[in-house]
Structure 1
Amino acid sequence: MAQISMAAVPALKDQFGQLKTRMEKAVDDFRKELSATRTGRASVHMLDTVQAEYYGSMMPLNQVATITVPEPQLILVTPFDPSALGAIEKAIRSGDLGMNPMNDGKIIRIPVPPLTEDRRKEMVKHLHKALEEHRTAIRNIRRDGNDFIKKTLKDKKITEDEERGTMEHLQKLTDDEIKKMEEMCKTKEKEVMTV
């Protein structure tokens, strides 16, 4: 049985667009998580997951400060508002990044220590855990799509051949998105394990 694109079946076209968008969003979210994962070198993206309290609301660090990397082992955080310095430092400390920020009253210096072998292995475990979470998210999106296809068949808006073909197409899309994430994870794992 040949695959039938969900986009080619009028009753499923809108749903296909939503499913594809949700899968791409999951892959993009995984990509962001990878960029925030530490390697042996300093990167401005290492602080992407950190949120600091600013005037009563939690804000991403890059919206309350300028983040730069002047050296391979150092990150500088310069707050736009000097009164936020303490909150930013506290957010970095509690961010579970294994970093020790130093505050000199104007800027925060964050030395990035070289990763130990144990820490590298821990990071790889974290990568695999994140990959599995995102794989599960994509499979859940596929399940939602399959449920919608079955419901559309039950409502007699599509034929059984269209149901079978579109489910195969959805499975292929799912496999492709998961494969993309696995390749990104392998690349990042190699980066983390390289001394």
Structure 2
Amino acid sequence: MTLRVGFVTGATPDKWARAWRERRREPLALTPVTEDEQLDGVRSGELDMALVRLPVDRDALHCVRLYDELQVVVAGRDHLVAAADAEGVMLADLVDEQLVLPHVSGWTPQADQLAWPPMSAADAVETVAAGTGIVILPMSVARLHGRKDVVTRPVTDLDPTTIGLVWRIDADDERTQDFVGIVKGRGANSTRG
């Protein structure tokens, strides 16, 4: 029986998928999911597990925190952000900017914001590459949509985002526990603990 694992944009399940294939006979199917829909497949039963960006509603779900990632500001190569130190900027440095995609924290610059149409992260990076505004994204998402005409700088006073693994409490079985063991770094012969 195939283990079906969703993964949110930016998560990289490849090393865990390789370990699964080395240890188990059952196939593993990886399915990309959007952040807005990252729990839908798990809750509906279409997916057995998902790598998600926390926080999420954990009602009836197991959740294991896996790793944190920096949040970065993405701006056009000619933007003032490009002149900032590679070690990063603070939100106070961005208060006069146009934020082309709402930030998950709810933070908004003090400058009057334009009414941006809904857009994906890829569309937001394309918009800032044209020299209009900024976007703040998890580093992995910014890298995924990276271009030569944009720069990224860490936002040092934003908490990192966290990737976690979720699965339904009522669907906890040997297969899911084996995958949990893999993502937690347990060896093939180790016991759960």
TM-score by length of 1: 0.22
TM-score by length of 2: 0.22
Q: Which has the higher helix share?
A: 1
